[in-house]
Amino acid sequence: MAKREGFTLIEVMISVLIISTVVMALYTMNGNSSFIYTKSVQEMESNGYLSFLVANKKYGFESDSLDMDRLLEGYDLEDALRKKLKTIKLKIAYNELYTLDMSEFDVKEDAPDEYQEDQKEKNQASMVFEIGKTSLLFEQKSNASILRLRVP
């Protein structure tokens, strides 16, 4: 029998196939992790802008279209950051989800007079709560939403 001194063509082809499969799997994992990282950075930035909306009592309970800089009026910001925020256009969309009418808990007619007068002084009007969803809709970023409670 002849002495074997190298690899056969089949062995080389199988090893190249295995190596290329491993390399493709690594590229896919790298691409997926890069996408997930980019998406999470965008969502964190959008949620940061959403916190400004919560702190600003002027906006959020109506739909509006504005610059991010207008949302941050009254905040002391660096000039470079304010210039960056002026370029960000956004829409605020408010959707009323539920209205809770608490009038069933008003003072009953058959309650004692002293109790009725005491309760009327405490609750001069029926409480109506409105639960809504405020969404920040960006042109080039991921959107963010928050639930809001409006008390009259």
pLDDT above 80 for 98? yes
- Examine residue 5 and state whether it is found in any structural domain, yes or no: no
The CA distances from residue 32 to 36, 104, 106, in Å, are: 6, 54, 57
Q: Which residue range forms the structural domain that includes residue 57?
A: 11-150
pLDDT above 60 for 111? no
Q: Which residue has the higher pLDDT, 106 or 65?
A: 65
Q: What region, left, alpha or beta, does residue 4 occupy, with left being phi > 0 and alpha being psi -120 to 50 degrees? A: beta
Confidence (pLDDT) at 112: 60
- Examine residue 4 and state whether it is found in any structural domain, yes or no: no
Domain count, the chain: 1
Which of 62, 51, 66 is closest to 145 using CA atoms?
A: 51
